[in-house]
C-alpha cells in the first residue's frame, strides 16, 4: 500500500523554458496540420505573438524537470508498474514560445481500488509564467499496478 501520509506533500518546483524548436518538433511528432503550431509567421498572421503551445504541451513542460519521475521514488513505485489513468488541464492564459513557466506540484490524493490491486496517485500542478500570471493547472492521475494483488 502506498503511504497516504504523503498526501499534501509538495514536490520541488522547477522552471521550464518554452522553446520554439521543441514546439515545432511536437507539432511534427503529433502530425499537427494547423500551421500556427509550427510556423511563426502563420502564428503571427493569426494574431499570436509567437507559436502557441498546444493544449497538452504543459504536461511536456512539466516533464522537463531534472527528475520527472521523482514522485514515484518518493512513493516507492517502479516505473514499469504505472499507467496514466486520467489527465486534466484547466487553462487561464495561453503559453507561447519564449515563455518561462514555473511548475509547483503537490500530491493531492492517494486512493485504492480493486482491493489494493490498483492504487491511484493524483498530482495537482500549477504553472505560472514569467509575468507571475497563472497560465495552467494540471491534474495528473497515475495508476499503480500491484502485481502481487492482481488476479
Kindly state whether residue 98 participates in binding another protein, applying the rule CB under 8 A.
no
Site for another protein (CB under 8 A): which residue of 12, 30, 45, 49? 30
Site for another protein (CB under 8 A): which residue of 5, 10, 33, 148? 33
Residue 18: which of 45, 54, 44 has the closest Cα?
54
Kindly state whether residue 15 participates in binding another protein, applying the rule CB under 8 A.
no
Kindly state whether residue 127 participates in binding another protein, applying the rule CB under 8 A.
no
Kindly state whether residue 71 participates in binding another protein, applying the rule CB under 8 A.
no
Stretch that binds another protein, among 4-12, 51-59, 103-111, 122-130 (CB under 8 A): 51-59
Kindly state whether residue 35 participates in binding another protein, applying the rule CB under 8 A.
no
| Dihedral angle sign, alpha carbons of residues 150, 87, 26, 102 | negative
Which residue, 5 or 122, is less far from another protein as judged by CB? Answer: 122
Dist. CA 83–CA 41, nearest whole Å: 38
Element (H or E) spanning 55, and its range?
Answer: none
Residue 58: which of 101, 106, 22, 107 has the closest Cα?
101
DSSP secondary structure letter of residue 52: B
Which residue, 5 or 147, is less far from another protein as judged by CB? Answer: 147
Amino acid at each position: 500500500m502506498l503511504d497516504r501520509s504523503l498526501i499534501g506533500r509538495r514536490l520541488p518546483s522547477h522552471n521550464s523554458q518554452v522553446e520554439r524548436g521543441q514546439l515545432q518538433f511536437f507539432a511534427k511528432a503529433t502530425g499537427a496540420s494547423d500551421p500556427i503550431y509550427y510556423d511563426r509567421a502563420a502564428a503571427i498572421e493569426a494574431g499570436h505573438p509567437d507559436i502557441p503551445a498546444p493544449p497538452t504541451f504543459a504536461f511536456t513542460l512539466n516533464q522537463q524537470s531534472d527528475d520527472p519521475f521523482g514522485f514515484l521514488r518518493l512513493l516507492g513505485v517502479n516505473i514499469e508498474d504505472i499507467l496514466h489513468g486520467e489527465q486534466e488541464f484547466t487553462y487561464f492564459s495561453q503559453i507561447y514560445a519564449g515563455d518561462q513557466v514555473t511548475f509547483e506540484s503537490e500530491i493531492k490524493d492517494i486512493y485504492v481500488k480493486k482491493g489494493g490491486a490498483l492504487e491511484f496517485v493524483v498530482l495537482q500542478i500549477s504553472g505560472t509564467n514569467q509575468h507571475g500570471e497563472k497560465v495552467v493547472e494540471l491534474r495528473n492521475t497515475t495508476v499503480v499496478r500491484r502485481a502481487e494483488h492482481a488476479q
